[in-house]
Chain A
Amino acid sequence: MTEVLLQATGLRLAFGGVKAADNIDLGVMKGEFLAIIGPNGAGKTTFINMSTGYLRPNAGEITYEGRRITGMSPRAIVKLGIARSFQLPQLFIEHTVEQNIALAVASRDGIWSPLAPLMRPRYRDEARDLLARFGLSAIADTRADALNEGARKLADIAMAVALKPRLLLMDEPTSGVAASEKMAIVETLVNVLRDAKVTAVFVEHDMDVVERFADRVAVWSQGRIAALGPPDQVLNDPAVLRDVIGIERHA
């Protein structure tokens, strides 16, 4: 747990006058589950966007396994082993769930085979297996635009996992998921990730989820990291409770 997988140093990014990242230093340790919490608009998603090449920081750099990835395209970063899921699920809505996953599986080989079917046994079996592990087998043949929010969210994450990343960045994996099924879904998700030995960073609003599943918590507030440490420590810090969680629990 001491080896650094992803390291951000002196990261700065502002939109107009709003500072989404104001001199951020943050390391993600190999094997850990790091939760990022904080008020809306604080810059949490921006961190994921910068780490995956969707946005470029104004200053500072991000390294992955010691290699500088700032300035690389999303495509190149994926190839290095960093995948992400989205707050608003990004599914191919005219394809079935199984096809979505199979396409993600196929994309590991490059998709340049123009004549053999996508649904060849190798891709289909792996997609089915992954869906089973996510508990999504029942909706494998459902078109992605017909899913409910919880299923869309999980399918979105499953697509990212299908890329076999070593680091997975998840943007609010439980938002929109019904409260009654939330814990079960996260439990499933965490098991899948542990089995696959994936390091994970997730932006999260639900403190119960954070408390139960995160190894460490980073509190992101106004573009800065206000606190960083194990959940029991951070979530009991009076300043964090007042400034961050207090706001959230009433929001």
Chain B
Amino acid sequence: MRRYEPILALVLAAAMITAAIMAPWLRFVLTIALAKGIAVVGILLLLRAGQVSFGHALYVAFGAYVVAFLAPRLNDAVLLLAAAAVGAGILGLLIGLFVTRYRQIFFGMLNLAMSMVFYSLLEKLYHITHGSDGIRVEVMPVAGQALDRVAYEWSIFGIALALAFTVGLLVRLYLSSPMGEALAGIKTRETRLEFMGVPARGVLLSAYVMSAMLGGIGGAIIAMTSRHVTPLLAYWTSSGELVFIAILGGAGGVLGPFLGAAAFELVRIYAAASFADAWQLILGSVLLLVILFAPGGLWGMAARLLGKGGTR
């Protein structure tokens, strides 16, 4: 299955580009999907270590607000993306130093707590954040080029796609490296790692910082695409969504998050358009069906279709 990953990635990318050309609204949806996919790769890293962060929307929201706040001063998409990644990485390091001391429910809930603190600050500090009204983000130059709206949207889509590829490739290498395999060792036998001279907490912390950076990048792209940021980005249900996408896609390969994110966004758009009052109900039902009847998620289904089994 792993061998097919690059080919599948190219097929998926080609499908996305085709869809984006055919329907401008799909371009918007798919850019968001790519952004969320990048953030969900971060969730995937932590899942590798057996840990569920139920507060990762913190980093997505942080990246988005970095764009919203800095856009007037640092008016370029490329620079803002870098700033969001670095900023989220530093925040991830600070919080990670604390939360990586904990495992399981405590890890999950402390992440949740951090994200809710951030959410509350965004809501309450109205004079800085405009509370739940949020902040508008204007069309900005990309790599020094001033663009009209359509060209801008294409650029962000292209950047998202390129970043998705880069992230996917690097994380794929990382996961089969000694560091990545040690990360997986945290899930099964953390004690053994210590008795091999491997600092388990350091391994988890580095993965945590990476996942925070991925969240920040995803959030920055979301801000540049939806061009409006609100505290809702940090609410715990948004964090739940990220984990949702990870499981929907299947935690097997790095392609899973992107498959999951695309499916998630499309179902959401379709459900919201057809049943405005019941889109959550439909998404929830889809998730239940996937978990109960398609363990391994979309990635697992793809694996079975290709007849190669094995999601590892």
Contact = CB atoms under 8 A, between A and B. Distances in A.
B192 A111 contact: no
- Report, as a range, how many residues of chain B touch the other chain: 20 to 34
A90 B31 CA distance: 44
Contact of A78 (B178, B188, B196): B196
Contacts of B194: 73-75
Contacts of A118: 176-178, 180-181
B176 A119 contact: yes
B203 interface: yes
Interface string B154-185: 00000000000000001001101111111011
Choose among B170, B176, B178, B188 the residue with the greatest number of A CB atoms under 10 Å from its CB.
B178
B279 to A, nearest CB: 36
B52 to A, nearest CB: 17
Interface of B: 170, 173-174, 176-182, 184-185, 187-189, 191-199, 203, 312
B205 to A, nearest CB: 12
Nearest to B203: A111
Contacts of A160: 195
B181 A163 contact: no
A94 B191 contact: no
A52 to B, nearest CB: 7
Given A114-B174, A115-B177, A78 B195 contact: yes
Given A115-B177, A118-B178, A159-B192, 11 more contacts: A54-B195, A73-B194, A92-B189, A94-B188, A94-B312, A95-B185, A111-B179, A114-B174, A115-B170, A116-B177, A123-B178
A75 B181 contact: no
Contacts of A163: 196-197
B197 A90 contact: no
A52 B195 contact: yes
A24 B28 CA distance: 72
26 contacts: A74-B195, A78-B196, A83-B195, A90-B189, A90-B191, A90-B195, A92-B181, A92-B184, A92-B188, A92-B192, A94-B312, A95-B184, A95-B185, A107-B178, A107-B193, A107-B196, A107-B198, A111-B181, A111-B198, A111-B203, A114-B173, A115-B173, A117-B176, A118-B176, A159-B192, A163-B197
A91 B181 contact: no
Interface residues of A, number: 35
Contacts of A83: 195
A116 B188 CA distance: 22
Contact of B177 (A52, A78, A91, A117): A117
Contacts of A73: 194
Interface in A63-118: 73-75, 78-79, 83-84, 90-95, 99, 103-104, 106-109, 111-118
Contacts of A103: 178, 181-182, 185, 196
Nearest to A78: B197
A79 B195 contact: no
Contact of B182 (A79, A93, A111): A111
A93 B195 contact: no
Contacts of B184: 92, 94-95
A83 B197 CA distance: 9
A86 to B, nearest CB: 8
A119 B170 CA distance: 17
Given A107-B198, A114-B180, A92 B173 contact: no
Contacts of A111: 177-179, 181-182, 198, 203
Contacts of B195: 52, 54, 74, 78, 83-84, 90, 160
Contact of B178 (A74, A84, A113): A113
A114 B179 contact: yes
Contact of B192 (A79, A91, A108, A117): A91
Contacts of B203: 111
A83 B192 CA distance: 11
A76 B181 CA distance: 21
A92 B49 CA distance: 12
A104 B203 CA distance: 15
Nearest to B187: A94
A42 B312 CA distance: 43
Given A93-B188, A99-B181, A114-B177, A79 B197 contact: yes
A100 to B, nearest CB: 9
B174 A115 contact: yes
A108 B198 CA distance: 9
Contact of A159 (B177, B196, B312): B196
A178 B312 CA distance: 32
Contact of A113 (B170, B179, B191, B192): B179
Contacts of B193: 107
A107 B198 CA distance: 6
A71 to B, nearest CB: 15
Nearest to B186: A92
A83 B178 CA distance: 19
Contacts of A119: 176
Nearest to A145: B188
A90 to B, nearest CB: 4
